[in-house]
């Protein structure tokens, strides 16, 4: 049996009022979901509101980023310690932060360590750009991203990896199931090399990049794909709920490791 994870990355969208409307619509429609771990990742400004609205529901909450220090003179930054009051999850290493904000694997590695210290569950994003893919560097890029950002992590616990090929994010063109499988297999083999077979077997690997209600079923029908990190489609309650409902049907699919 495998439980599916569906995480909504709202990115820089929704003020608190809009967040409230979106959560209400999702909340009402996912009450009977038992086998999908649902995580909403709103902007920092709505974290508190979303946490309050999802209290005592089956929906979990995550932040989209953290800084790696606990506190101090870091204008504009938010620490793991601060978000821990509001949520249990955090996305680290999203490609938009890598590419637009210059986050390196080293910085991401420090954030991973800070999140672990606070007991947060990490969704760590990796994936190649179109240029890297065309140069045949996909495996190398994933390897470097994981090796460098996990270099200070002793045990592979509370970490979910999201394979997000940059060329598939926000483009409406999802990676093919074959490409997803290749990326995810690469990730699993790196986890095995770094942390051993047991960690590899228990690891959860998500796919992200233009996931929508139309392609979720073909993605999840591959036992290697444990769920999705959803951007655009998570902002539309109908689409997001439809993705969740379809995912619920796959819960009993046998895991590749069984």
Q: Which residues bind ligand PGA (CB under 6 A)?
A: 9, 164, 169-170, 208-211, 229-233
Residue with smaller CB distance to ligand PGA, 9 or 186: 9
Shortest separation between residue 229's beta carbon and ligand PGA, angstroms: 4
Shortest separation between residue 78's beta carbon and ligand PGA, angstroms: 19
Shortest separation between residue 53's beta carbon and ligand PGA, angstroms: 22
Residue with smaller CB distance to ligand PGA, 233 or 241: 233
Region of 181 on the Ramachandran plot (φ > 0 left; ψ -120 to 50 alpha; else beta): alpha
Residue with smaller CB distance to ligand PGA, 11 or 195: 11
Q: Which residue has the tokens 């009450």?
A: 31
Shortest separation between residue 162's beta carbon and ligand PGA, angstroms: 7
Residue with smaller CB distance to ligand PGA, 162 or 200: 162
Region of 83 on the Ramachandran plot (φ > 0 left; ψ -120 to 50 alpha; else beta): alpha
* Active site residue ranges: 94, 164
d(CA 75, CA 90): 20
- In the bound state, the residue with its beta carbon closest to ligand PGA is 231
d(CA 108, CA 148): 9
Shortest separation between residue 11's beta carbon and ligand PGA, angstroms: 7
Locate 6 and state its tokens.
């569906």
Which H/E stretch holds residue 59?
A: strand 59-63
Residue (of 204, 235, 196) closest to 220 by Cα position: 204
DSSP letter assigned to residue 137: -
Number of Cβ atoms within 10 Å of the Cβ of 239: 19
Q: Which residue has the tokens 């063109």?
A: 173
Residue with smaller CB distance to ligand PGA, 109 or 165: 165
Shortest separation between residue 132's beta carbon and ligand PGA, angstroms: 17
Residue with smaller CB distance to ligand PGA, 62 or 209: 209
Locate 219 and state its tokens.
């993605």
Residue 174 neighbours by CB under 8 Å, 6+ apart: 168, 209, 210, 211, 212, 215, 219
d(CA 96, CA 116): 22
């Amino acid at each position: 049996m495998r439980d599916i994870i569906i995480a909504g990355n709202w990115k820089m969208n929704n003020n608190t009022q809009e967040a409230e409307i979106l959560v209400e619509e999702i909340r009402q429609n996912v009450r009977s979901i038992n086998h999908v771990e649902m995580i909403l990742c709103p902007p920092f400004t709505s974290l508190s509101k979303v946490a309050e609205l999802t209290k005592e529901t089956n929906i979990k909450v995550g932040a989209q980023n953290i800084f790696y220090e606990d506190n101090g003179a870091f204008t504009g930054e938010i620490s793991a310690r601060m978000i821990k009051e509001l949520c249990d999850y955090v996305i680290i290493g999203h490609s938009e932060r890598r590419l637009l904000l210059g986050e390196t694997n080293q910085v991401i590695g420090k954030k991973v360590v800070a999140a672990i210290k606070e007991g947060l569950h990490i969704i760590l994003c990796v994936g190649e750009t179109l240029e890297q893919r065309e140069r045949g560097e996909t495996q190398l890029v994933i390897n470097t991203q994981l090796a460098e950002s996990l270099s200070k992590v002793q045990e592979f616990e509370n970490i979910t990896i999201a394979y997000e090929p940059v060329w598939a994010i926000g483009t409406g063109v999802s990676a093919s199931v074959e490409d997803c499988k290749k990326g995810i297999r690469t990730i699993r083999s790196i986890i095995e090399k770094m942390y051993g077979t047991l960690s590899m077997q228990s690891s959860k690997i998500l796919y992200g990049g233009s996931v929508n209600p139309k392609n979720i079923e073909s993605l999840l029908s591959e036992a290697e794909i444990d769920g999705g990190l959803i951007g655009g489609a998570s902002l539309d309650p109908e689409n997001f709920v439809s993705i969740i409902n379809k995912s619920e049907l796959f819960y009993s699919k046998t895991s590749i490791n069984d």
